[in-house]
Amino acid sequence: MKYHVITLGCQMNLSDSERVISVLDEAGYEWTDNEEEAGLIGILACSVRQKAIDKVYSRIHKWNKWKNNKNLITFISGCMLPDDHEKFLKLFDVTFQMKDLPTLPELISQYGITTPTHLKSGIDPHNENIEEFWNVAPNYQSNFEAFIPIQNGCDKFCTYCAVPYTRGREVSRPSKDILAEVALLVAQGFKSITLLGQNVNSYGLDKKGEEITFPQLLREIGELGNRMKKEFWLYFTSPHPRDMTDEVIEVIAEYPVLGKQIHLPMQSGDDKVLMRMNRKHNLEKYRHIVQTIRRLIPEATLFTDVIVGFTGETEEQFANTQKAFHEFKFNMSYTAIYSPRPGATSHRWVDDIPQDEKKRRLHALTEDLREHSLPYNQALIGKTMRVLVRGTDRKEGFLSSHTEGKLIVRFASDNETLIGQFVDVKITAATDFSTEGELVTVEKEVQL
């Protein structure tokens, strides 16, 4: 039987989907890019954004109509709130939590529908037997980029966020398994590896005395890079400012394989808004982290996440976020318009910022970002940058790549064998969020 899987949401869901594909391949199912010819269709959902849930409903209604003319089995998993899970029980043939992935072939063969699980005996149903899921070897969807989950769940309970209710409390994956997966990927020639977690820098804190800390994990990977003498970049996402220590930054500065790009979610530049968000950090704490990055890793790029229009955000409070943008001069920001999510604490509060005003604030922050990203990119003109070629560019006859700092660089070439390789490119032009350059060198392994 042919199957097709659709993945919504963040990189964590993308990583989960690689394990889903691995289990289905092992069970004898055959992948197809065309969902219309599949007899088995699955979706990895994301309850964190309403738009993602809306897409699930759109898809399943279409698929259930197809059942009038063909044999079709549907399944769903992913990052789901209990209420969404309950509703999907009636719409999908198979629903399961990701920790139960190893049993998926059996569920499909029986058209089995799992029932909702609830907390019992102090066990978090999201993470019970989670190591069985982690032990599933992923079917990496790239031969040069990979994502490695290092933990699951979150203990922070930000008031706008549903993750603690969709993935449970924080559980750290054994470091020996993480390091083994990194070593295997590096040996196989992977060039970009990203450690994944809802709050990566609290890694190991749930197993104090039994597991190493996050900076120690980074150091182990740095030492591994020194021993293996292979070129690769190691990233991580997402950290939380509360747990971001100077030690993490010191370790990144010390080891060449640890990518000099840091994604540090700020969410707001106003302390009162941060308190309502239950972010457990303030602007001064955030400022200290940024200043430490600038001091120890001056070449590092800085990315962030921001929510505009959070419940009760005044014009003055939004202006403080704008001030923070000008102070920290981010290279990139993933800015989202606030929308209440069922299950999150703020869902009970009045969503009192008009949509038009939220959109205005989003556009204003985008312009603030441009004000600093463009001069930064223009300063790169004339410099030769090491880049990883990631694919063809939308501009015909060009390839797209990114620097160690994850800045986009396109260059003229029709040599697709360069994809997945490191090359050197001299920057010749710059725009707000990307640069253009000329190919300088090609690795010997590509020339052969």
As beta bridge partners, residue 44 has 7, 77
Query: Tell me, what amino acid is at 89?
Result: L
Structural domain contains residue 407: yes
Which tens digits make up the pLDDT trace of 209-233? Answer: 899 999 999 999 999 999 999 999 9
Structural domain contains residue 126: no
Our separate counts of H helices and E strands in the chain read 14, 18
How crowded is residue 447: how many other Cβ atoms within 10 Å of its Cβ?
8
How many Cα neighbours within 13 Å face the side chain of 49?
11
Written as six digits, the tokens of 117 are: 């699980």
Residue 119 has pLDDT above 50, yes or no: no
Q: Based on the domain organization, do 335 and 407 belong to the same domain? A: no
Q: Based on the domain organization, do 271 and 395 belong to the same domain? A: no
Q: How many domains does the chain have?
A: 3
From residue 214, alpha-carbon distances to 150, 228, 253, 441 in Å are 10, 21, 15, 36
Q: Based on the domain organization, do 349 and 216 belong to the same domain? A: yes
Range in 129-143, 276-290, 391-405 with the lowest mean pLDDT? 129-143
Which tens digits make up the pLDDT trace of 409-438? Answer: 999 999 999 999 999 999 999 999 999 999
Do 286 and 246 meet the contact criterion of CB atoms below 8 Å apart? no
Structural domain contains residue 285: yes
Structural domain contains residue 116: no
CATH number at residue 422: 2.40.50.140
Q: Based on the domain organization, do 172 and 314 belong to the same domain? A: yes
Written as six digits, the tokens of 260 are: 């000099």
Q: How buried is residue 44: exposed, middle or buried, by Cβ count under 10 Å (0-12/13-18/19+)?
A: buried
DSSP-derived secondary structure for 146-197: EEEE-EE--S---TT--HHHHH-S-EEPPHHHHHHHHHHHHHTT--EEEEE-
Residue 445 has pLDDT above 80, yes or no: no
Range in 109-113, 132-136, 368-372 with the lowest mean pLDDT? 109-113
> In 3D, which of 196, 194, 216 has the Cα closest to residue 205?
216
Q: Out of 378, 396, 429, pick the residue that ends a domain.
A: 378
The larger pLDDT score, comparing residue 245 to residue 79, is at 245
Across the chain, mean pLDDT equals 89
> In 3D, which of 152, 112, 144 has the Cα closest to residue 13?
152
pLDDT confidence tier of residue 162, bands split at 50, 70 and 90: confident
pTM > 0.85: yes or no: no
Q: Based on the domain organization, do 92 and 214 belong to the same domain? A: no
The alpha carbon of residue 395 and the mean position of all alpha carbons in its chain are separated, in whole angstroms, by 26
Which tens digits make up the pLDDT trace of 275-301? Answer: 999 999 999 999 999 999 999 999 999
Which residues does 47 contact at the CB level (< 8 Å), separation at least 6? 53, 79, 80, 81, 84, 162, 166, 341, 342, 343
Which tens digits make up the pLDDT trace of 48-98? Answer: 777 788 888 899 899 998 988 888 889 998 887 777 778 888 888 888 888
Residue 370 has pLDDT above 50, yes or no: yes
Q: Based on the domain organization, do 79 and 211 belong to the same domain? A: no
Residue 122 has pLDDT above 60, yes or no: no
State the Cα–Cα distance between residues 132 and 178, nearest whole angstrom. 14
Residue 194 has pLDDT above 90, yes or no: yes
Q: Out of 352, 378, 404, pick the residue that ends a domain.
A: 378
As beta bridge partners, residue 82 has none
Q: Based on the domain organization, do 192 and 94 belong to the same domain? A: no
Q: Based on the domain organization, do 397 and 366 belong to the same domain? A: no
pLDDT over 70 percentage in the chain: 94
Which tens digits make up the pLDDT trace of 345-358? Answer: 898 899 999 999 99
From residue 237, alpha-carbon distances to 71, 121, 195, 200, 259 in Å are 40, 32, 6, 7, 12
Give me the domain span that covers residue 434.
384-447
Q: Based on the domain organization, do 146 and 196 belong to the same domain? A: yes
Structural domain contains residue 129: no
Mean pLDDT (whole number) for 251-272: 97
The larger pLDDT score, comparing residue 185 to residue 57, is at 185
Q: Based on the domain organization, do 231 and 142 belong to the same domain? A: yes
Q: Based on the domain organization, do 437 and 310 belong to the same domain? A: no
CATH number at residue 11: 3.40.50.12160
Q: Based on the domain organization, do 176 and 300 belong to the same domain? A: yes
Residue 125 has pLDDT above 80, yes or no: no
pLDDT confidence tier of residue 379, bands split at 50, 70 and 90: very high
Return the residue matching tokens 């620097």.
403
The DSSP H or E segment spanning 376 is: helix 355-378
